[in-house]
């Protein structure tokens, strides 16, 4: 599809390298595979959902590009090695290709429903991205605001993949909504894990420097009192000045607060909470043992 799209070879190569950038041979095209897995779990024909799965992969890649441009993050990825103007065009190209892939769906009703799901996801994610920029300008947000934001971003994308797959299996509206809920919970789980993994990775991640309200950051804002709260606020302010003002001493201070206040146990508890929500919804789905085991393995791992 990319090579037949009528675009120059340099852009073609950039599109392909971007698609492959975050994957290994064992775990390729996760968004497409989530879509196909949901279709299979709902006892659908996965080949019928292939165009929607490709559209989902391209759509999610565009979302990643726009997110990294906004955050000025993940410098090792292909779209961060080009100018922001070029990266914006690359992201827009992925969106157009996503729409092109979806247009291959022959059933008019499935096409209409799939397009609605993708478009609505895009609107929710854009709203979430905008809200995140507002939160970066705020001194603090609540934990409830954090989870609402993550639901709009990571949760919405994962929900989209699961719903697209279920649509092509011809499930009822109630089951479709259940798949969407599983996607939201699973997306939140993944974001919690990523937030915890990246929070102290000052050399590669810019979350702390950008004042991004990740779960560890938001949790510390909510639990720190008196002198510790003042110290953390001071450290966050120094980080916003850049890496030159936020050296090894400041990094060690953040690490000390991180461990003293039990950030890791809290994040692990919240991760487990949403995992149980996923398993609870899935338990109500009609599926044979093999399909159910495959989906549960996805969540547990």
pLDDT digits (tens, 9 = 90+) for 273-296: 999 999 888 887 777 778 777 777
Residue 135: exposure state from Cβ atoms within 10 A (0-12, 13-18, ≥19): middle
| pLDDT on residue 71 | 85
Q: How far apart are CA 218 and CA 155, in angstroms?
A: 18
| pLDDT on residue 290 | 81
pLDDT digits (tens, 9 = 90+) for 104-143: 999 999 999 999 999 999 999 999 999 999 998 888 899 9
| pLDDT on residue 301 | 67
> Which tokens go with 15?
């599109």
Res. 72 pLDDT band, cuts 50 70 90: confident
| pLDDT on residue 21 | 86
Q: How many CB atoms lie within 10 A of CB 263?
A: 22
Domains of the chain, first to last:
10-20+28-300 (1.10.600.10)
| pLDDT on residue 168 | 95
Q: How far apart are CA 252 and CA 258, in angstroms?
A: 10
Q: How many residues does the chain have?
A: 301
Q: What is the DSSP string of 85-122?
A: HHHHHHHHHHHHHHHHHHTT---HHHHHHHHHHHHHHH
- Compute the half-sphere exposure of residue 282: CA atoms within 13 Å on the CB side of its CA: 26
pLDDT above 90 coverage of the chain, percent: 76
* Arithmetic mean of pLDDT over the chain: 92
Q: How far apart are CA 39 and CA 82, in angstroms?
A: 36
| pLDDT on residue 130 | 93
pLDDT of residue 25 exceeding 70, the answer is no
């Amino acid at each position: 599809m990319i090579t037949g799209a009528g675009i120059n070879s340099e852009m073609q190569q950039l599109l392909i390298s971007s698609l492959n950038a975050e994957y290994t041979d064992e775990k390729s095209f996760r968004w497409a595979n989530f879509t196909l897995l949901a279709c299979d779990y709902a006892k659908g024909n996965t080949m019928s959902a292939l165009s929607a799965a490709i559209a989902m992969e391209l759509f999610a890649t565009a979302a990643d590009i726009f997110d990294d441009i906004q955050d000025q993050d993940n410098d090792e990825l292909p779209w961060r090695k080009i100018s922001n103007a070029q990266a914006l065009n690359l992201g827009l190209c992925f969106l157009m290709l996503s729409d092109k892939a979806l247009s291959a769906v022959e059933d008019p009703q499935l096409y209409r429903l799939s397009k609605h799901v993708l478009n609505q996801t895009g609107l929710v994610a854009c709203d979430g991205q905008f809200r995140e920029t507002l939160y970066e300008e705020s001194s603090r947000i609540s934990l409830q605001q954090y989870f609402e934001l993550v639901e709009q971003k990571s949760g919405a994308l994962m929900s989209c993949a699961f719903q697209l797959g279920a649509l092509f299996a011809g499930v009822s509206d109630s089951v479709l909504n259940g798949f969407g809920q599983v996607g939201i919970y699973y997306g939140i789980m993944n974001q919690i894990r990523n937030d915890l993994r990246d929070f102290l990775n000052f050399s590669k991640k810019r979350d702390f420097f950008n004042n991004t309200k990740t779960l560890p950051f938001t949790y510390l804002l909510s639990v720190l009192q008196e002198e510790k709260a003042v110290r953390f606020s001071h450290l966050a302010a120094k980080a916003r000045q850049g890496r030159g003002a936020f050296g090894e001493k400041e990094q060690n201070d953040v690490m000390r607060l991180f461990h003293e206040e039990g950030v890791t146990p809290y994040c692990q508890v919240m991760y487990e909470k949403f995992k149980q929500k996923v398993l609870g919804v899935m338990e109500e789905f009609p599926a044979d043992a093999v399909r159910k085991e495959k989906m549960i393995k996805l969540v547990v791992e």
